[in-house]
A and B are shown apart, each in its own frame.
Chain A
């Protein structure tokens, strides 16, 4: 176990270094966006003096390197800065700027929570579903079932997400009104209510992510079926299902875990279209809105969260793959 602990520590350290480089790239990229918040908010009335004043207020006149380290320093202390839009809105209404409500954290946190909820519900449906489908496809490989599963999942991954969403709305909300077609959830809703409203977007996303996971499960298992230990299991008179679940699957876990991690990361970072269709208040929508009005602190915070999600999930996948190898779990 000593070596496993060391590998995990190493990967964690590497993850942090990666996150640092990503933060530089994010900052540079966001600052290269044409136009800035002052111009975007003032629109037609952007006199040079007004633009200058807002810039000074927000600190946009400082050199980029200073701003980067100000931002990084804040992030390291858990302060993601103040949302330009919220701050500006507040100054118009006479409230104090920089209060807790205008902070990026206060804006992003509830949205991120919603996104995690949607991702969680989707994962809870999609991961077991694809694993079972993959195992069955491997068990009945080259049968009608296998082909149907492959064609079905490939069709769903090849169709645009919004199209899938509308199809599901048509069948599950309009023709058979079982689920609400709008998923606007609020903080004070009960868990059951939230779950019900989240189900349609979750099902849509399930259709999107199943193909990868199912096909990887199938391929990873079939890859092993020619191994001598699988032949041995069959020659012991073990039933085909048990051969696959008990003998092939435990040795096929590493690639499957990695594909699951990639898809979970996608669920956290890439679901804007589905959020828009179902009016789901997730982080994706906030991100797109913030880019539109050049609300740089929010954009940066979202990017950083996305990067961290990717790094953490891949890290987790790495660690689980390592742990799935008995040679590492039980050294000589």
Chain B
């Protein structure tokens, strides 16, 4: 390529992060080229150094991180040698940033429009009045509702998907040459994700802005990027043009990433019609205070089967789990266990009843006591529910560790902080198993994990189900996970069940319109997927309009 239209040129970049007084490498000599108007996708698991590299392209490092070698040139300006004020002159004006969580990255104390106009006014690009007018135009282009008025709201008054688009508008405020998108849709529901993806793609296209798009989701990057670069632990694995990368990945690691979505367990025969379900939820309605969240929810979970509860955030999935465990007693309805009604409040349940239903949480980080060793964490329910002590308890803990494929000798005395994310989630599973339950609620157990690690957890759960005859209620918003492990599916929206049935029927038309919206919103690896979908839905009524129609 000619160097004339080269916008970013990174050469042999080394970045280190401080941990306990020593510097460990995060980026180990990466090269990166970006032409004007081009979109480069950066993908990799967490810890691969994607965000660090993205920020380094702006000449920026977070606290406790330093650039130890190499060069970063932006349009011929060497950023690593540039003075702080020279860099400040570029940031916001010629290089902009869109963060993962717009809700956290907008200042809660100021109106959106004041934050939008700040960079243009401070950099002397536009007057405040001009910039405000321009903001409305950008809001319109990003298809935000009420573009005239939405800027005058505070961040907490605007929904997540809208905030993410407002942040893209803010990044556009000075018409930069380069925007770094750092996982901009990771925190969003699939249905909202589409609106944001489409909006970002259009506006980047329209103003011919170059972009670095960071994500761990291959299907998303396939829609957005011209080229894809794969990172693994600070090293580049490979880089290629998007279509070639998708059809012919050359490295084994890339191929394994591509293969994750292929995991699918065999279908189980349907339960006998007269079988008593392990858990039966009948006509449950619940509220937080006076705010109703669940309306007349009913479903059954049979022995040895997995029921996936899917829906967007706020649809009442986790509240349903709180009702079953008795943490939030419903004001109406019955929860039966093996055909026997359970007291609605967990405080009124017997130890035996409590033992039968266990829970695995989304954030293994916060669900494990950081000051207890793994043996203590797993040993607690062993002692509490099963009454084992001393050598018996120790043997049982070791058995459990073996069941979750962790070597007892190595892991018994470690603290949670000495484990990886996937290992922590395995400990969470062992803790649930320690009570020898017949039913486990898995609340988004894989959504905080990388795809390869998540696949391992799903396989483990499937194996345990076959060996121990467990029933799972699997709460998730990820339909790929549902496809992989569910036997039955319950689709929830606004606290109501809109559709339920066995998986095969659910993934086959005709669907309830909401299920259809959910299903069609899951990004696919085909780079034309988004374009085709938008054409199908009609560009005018994507997202908001689509969900309102239902």
Q: List residues of chain A with CB under 8 Å of any chain B CB.
A: 226-229, 231-239, 242, 246-247, 250-251, 326-327, 330, 332
11 new A-B contacts, CB < 8 A, other than A236-B92, A238-B122, are A229-B105, A234-B91, A235-B91, A236-B91, A239-B88, A251-B107, A251-B109, A326-B109, A330-B153, A330-B154, A332-B156
Q: Do A231 and B91 form a contact, CB below 8 Å, given A226-B63, A326-B154?
A: no
Contacts of B154 in A (CB 8 A): 326-327, 330
Q: Do A235 and B58 form a contact, CB below 8 Å, given A226-B63, A227-B104, A229-B104?
A: yes
Contacts of A250 in B (CB 8 A): 107, 109-110
CB distance from A193 to the nearest CB of B (A): 43
Q: Which 6 A-B pairs have the closest CB atoms?
A: A237-B91, A237-B92, A236-B92, A250-B109, A228-B104, A235-B97
Q: List residues of chain B with CB under 8 Å of any chain A CB.
A: 58, 60, 62-63, 87-93, 96-97, 99, 101, 104-110, 118-119, 122-123, 153-154, 156-157
Complex Cα–Cα for A234 and B90 (A): 11
Complex Cα–Cα for A227 and B90 (A): 22
Instruction: State which of A233, A234, A237, A326 has its C-beta within 8 Å of the C-beta of B108.
Output: A326
CB distance from B90 to the nearest CB of A (A): 7
Complex Cα–Cα for A330 and B111 (A): 11
Complex Cα–Cα for A229 and B87 (A): 19
Complex Cα–Cα for A180 and B238 (A): 79
**B60, closest chain A residue (CB):** A235
Complex Cα–Cα for A236 and B88 (A): 8
B106 touches A232 (CB 8 A): yes
The prevalent SS among residues of A at the interface is helix
B60 touches A327 (CB 8 A): no
**B84, closest chain A residue (CB):** A240
Contacts of A330 in B (CB 8 A): 153-154, 156-157
Complex Cα–Cα for A326 and B106 (A): 13
Complex Cα–Cα for A146 and B101 (A): 32
Complex Cα–Cα for A332 and B153 (A): 9
Of A228, A242, A327, most B-chain CB atoms within 10 Å: A228
Contacts of B96 in A (CB 8 A): 235-236
B109 touches A332 (CB 8 A): no
Contacts of B105 in A (CB 8 A): 228-229, 231-232
**B157, closest chain A residue (CB):** A332
B99 touches A231 (CB 8 A): yes
Complex Cα–Cα for A219 and B199 (A): 40
Contacts of A251 in B (CB 8 A): 107-109
Contacts of B63 in A (CB 8 A): 226
Contacts of B90 in A (CB 8 A): 237
A-B contacts, 27 of them at CB < 8 A, read A227-B104, A228-B104, A228-B105, A231-B99, A231-B105, A232-B97, A232-B99, A232-B106, A232-B107, A235-B58, A235-B60, A237-B89, A237-B91, A237-B92, A237-B93, A237-B119, A237-B122, A238-B119, A239-B122, A246-B110, A247-B107, A250-B107, A250-B109, A326-B154, A327-B154, A330-B154, A332-B156
A229 touches B108 (CB 8 A): yes
Contacts of A327 in B (CB 8 A): 108, 154, 156
CB distance from B75 to the nearest CB of A (A): 15
**A251, closest chain B residue (CB):** B109
Complex Cα–Cα for A242 and B62 (A): 19
Contacts of A242 in B (CB 8 A): 122
Instruction: State which of B58, B122, B156 has its C-beta within 8 Å of the C-beta of A326.
Output: B156
CB distance from A237 to the nearest CB of B (A): 3
A238 touches B92 (CB 8 A): yes
Complex Cα–Cα for A179 and B104 (A): 52
CB distance from A325 to the nearest CB of B (A): 8
**A329, closest chain B residue (CB):** B154
Instruction: State which of A226, A229, A234, A247 has its C-beta within 8 Å of the C-beta of B60.
Output: A234
B99 touches A228 (CB 8 A): yes
**A326, closest chain B residue (CB):** B154
CB distance from B77 to the nearest CB of A (A): 14
Of A232, A238, A246, A250, most B-chain CB atoms within 10 Å: A232
B107 touches A233 (CB 8 A): yes
Complex Cα–Cα for A50 and B60 (A): 85
Complex Cα–Cα for A227 and B60 (A): 16
Complex Cα–Cα for A237 and B157 (A): 26
Complex Cα–Cα for A284 and B322 (A): 57
Contacts of B93 in A (CB 8 A): 237
Complex Cα–Cα for A55 and B87 (A): 81
Contacts of A233 in B (CB 8 A): 107, 118
Q: Do A237 and B88 form a contact, CB below 8 Å, given A226-B63, A227-B104, A232-B99?
A: yes
Q: Do A228 and B101 form a contact, CB below 8 Å, given A233-B107, A247-B107?
A: yes
Complex Cα–Cα for A327 and B123 (A): 30
Complex Cα–Cα for A175 and B379 (A): 73
CB distance from A87 to the nearest CB of B (A): 56
CB distance from A266 to the nearest CB of B (A): 29
CB distance from A244 to the nearest CB of B (A): 12
Contacts of A332 in B (CB 8 A): 156-157
**B93, closest chain A residue (CB):** A237
Complex Cα–Cα for A247 and B106 (A): 10
Complex Cα–Cα for A192 and B426 (A): 74
Contacts of B107 in A (CB 8 A): 229, 232-233, 247, 250-251
Contacts of B62 in A (CB 8 A): 231
Complex Cα–Cα for A247 and B119 (A): 13
**A235, closest chain B residue (CB):** B97
Complex Cα–Cα for A231 and B60 (A): 10
Complex Cα–Cα for A250 and B108 (A): 9
CB distance from A307 to the nearest CB of B (A): 34
Complex Cα–Cα for A193 and B96 (A): 57
B118 touches A236 (CB 8 A): yes
Complex Cα–Cα for A235 and B105 (A): 11
**A324, closest chain B residue (CB):** B109
CB distance from A225 to the nearest CB of B (A): 8
Complex Cα–Cα for A237 and B90 (A): 7
CB distance from B163 to the nearest CB of A (A): 12
Of A227, A242, A326, most B-chain CB atoms within 10 Å: A326
**A224, closest chain B residue (CB):** B107
Contacts of B92 in A (CB 8 A): 235-238
**A253, closest chain B residue (CB):** B109
Complex Cα–Cα for A226 and B104 (A): 11
**B106, closest chain A residue (CB):** A229
Complex Cα–Cα for A233 and B107 (A): 9
**B180, closest chain A residue (CB):** A235
Contacts of A247 in B (CB 8 A): 107, 109-110
CB distance from B261 to the nearest CB of A (A): 30
Contacts of B109 in A (CB 8 A): 247, 250-251, 326
Contacts of A236 in B (CB 8 A): 91-92, 96-97, 118-119, 122
Complex Cα–Cα for A246 and B109 (A): 9
Complex Cα–Cα for A194 and B89 (A): 51
CB distance from A158 to the nearest CB of B (A): 31
CB distance from A288 to the nearest CB of B (A): 45
CB distance from B38 to the nearest CB of A (A): 21
